[in-house]
Amino acid sequence: MATYVVVGSPGNYVVKEAVTEEEIASGMSQIASQQTADTLNAQAVVQQNTDGGTSTPPPTQAPAPNTDAAMAVARSLFSFFPEAVLKDYANAWIKYDDTTLAIAEVRTKPAWKKEFGFLQRDDGSLIMSEAEMLSTKASYAETLREVDITDMTQFETKFNELISGEVSAAEFQQRVDLVYNQVVDQIPEVERLYRERFGIELDQPTIFGALLDPDISDKVLKGDIQTLQLQAQASIRGFTQSFARFEELRKAGLTTQQAAQVYEQATSFMQAASTVGREVELKTLEEAALGDVTSQQRLQRISSEIQSAGGIQLGAAQTQTGEIVGLIED
């Protein structure tokens, strides 16, 4: 890009494009050169008025660029930049007289990397601009305010991590909505297990704040909440199993509705089975609900024995097609 120098005499300074090596080395942007020329011409007029028209001709080469004007430009464009980054931008703007080239150079400087390095991928490309970053953080904050989190100071670093992980404002909103719909708005036991699972023991806003932890948010997105819902259906009815077992059931296709029905009737069915000398494991009931034919047939035989002994069927029945319904439901 061309650089410029100021030449001429007092009151008649003008700007010209740098040609010689010396001029190019000391040159500046066209705007900065013009500002310098204007300043020198104004000073010459003042000097003439002061000493009766005599003045000592200044050198024809311009003095240092007007950094004050450059800083004013930097602040007008990037008021949220720290001072060190603003200075880098001002210097780059004087050098290039181009906002695109100036900000590109600023993003290579240590001051920018210290403050905004999380916006840059490993290959050097930008995840988003600095202004887009402010907008995204504002959206994150608004989402958390909707669930009664008002103090954002503790989340600033976490916001940076979310942006670095390329989590959009919309995606973060979806995560929060997911937790609200499937945890907070569900039975209290789901919320208790959620807190226990992720080591969260504080107030409700902390549950949502935990979503800023990549380890937790990844688990949420991988289905941990659905697994906890199954666990809750068992827990409130007195059945305790490992999280791994409920994870296995979730992956096998057991729904919350099916789990509620199985665990609701499990105790009474087991007790009835024991009256005819049969022992039924909870796993058999779970497998039957998932469609395991062997488990379904066994439960049907036990149900028939209970009926023959004069007991009630406890909600289990077989359709004309041989399908088990009631205790075990597809």
Q: What pLDDT does 190 receive?
A: 64
Quick one: 71 and 38 in the same domain?
A: no
Per-residue pLDDT averaged across 256-268, rounded? Answer: 88
Higher-pLDDT residue of 85 and 176 is 85
Quick one: 96 and 16 in the same domain?
A: no
Considering Cα of 262, then 267, then 270, then 271, what sign does the dihedral take?
Answer: negative
Q: What pLDDT does 200 receive?
A: 62
Quick one: 139 and 206 in the same domain?
A: yes
Quick one: 138 and 108 in the same domain?
A: no
Residue 181 lies in a domain: yes
How many folded domains does the chain comprise? Answer: 4
Residue 76 lies in a domain: yes
* pLDDT band at residue 329 under the 50/70/90 scheme: very low
Higher-pLDDT residue of 309 and 125 is 125
Residue 145 has pLDDT above 70, yes or no: yes
Q: Of all residues in the chain, what percent carry a pLDDT higher than 70? A: 68
Residue 227 lies in a domain: no
Task: Write the pLDDT tens digit of every residue in 22-78.
Answer: 666 556 666 666 766 666 666 555 455 555 544 455 544 444 457 888 898 899 999
Residue 77's domain comprises 66-121
Quick one: 108 and 138 in the same domain?
A: no
3-class secondary-structure state, position 120? strand
Quick one: 139 and 192 in the same domain?
A: yes
Per-residue pLDDT averaged across 240-269, rounded? Answer: 88
Q: What pLDDT does 205 receive?
A: 59
Residue 59 lies in a domain: no
Tokens of 328: 């075990």
Residues 6+ apart with CB under 8 A from 42: none
* pLDDT band at residue 105 under the 50/70/90 scheme: very high
Residue 89 has pLDDT above 90, yes or no: yes
Per-residue pLDDT averaged across 312-321, rounded? Answer: 47
Q: What pLDDT does 24 receive?
A: 66
Residue 231 lies in a domain: no
**What is d(CA 52, CA 43) in angstroms, rounded to the nearest whole number?**
14
Question: Largest alpha-carbon pair distance within the chain?
Answer: 128
Residue 172 lies in a domain: yes
Quick one: 164 and 199 in the same domain?
A: yes
Going by DSSP bridges, is the β-strand pair 324-325/4-7 parallel, antiparallel, or unpaired?
Answer: unpaired
Tokens of 162: 């979310």
Residue 276 lies in a domain: yes
Average pLDDT, the chain: 78
Residue 56 lies in a domain: no
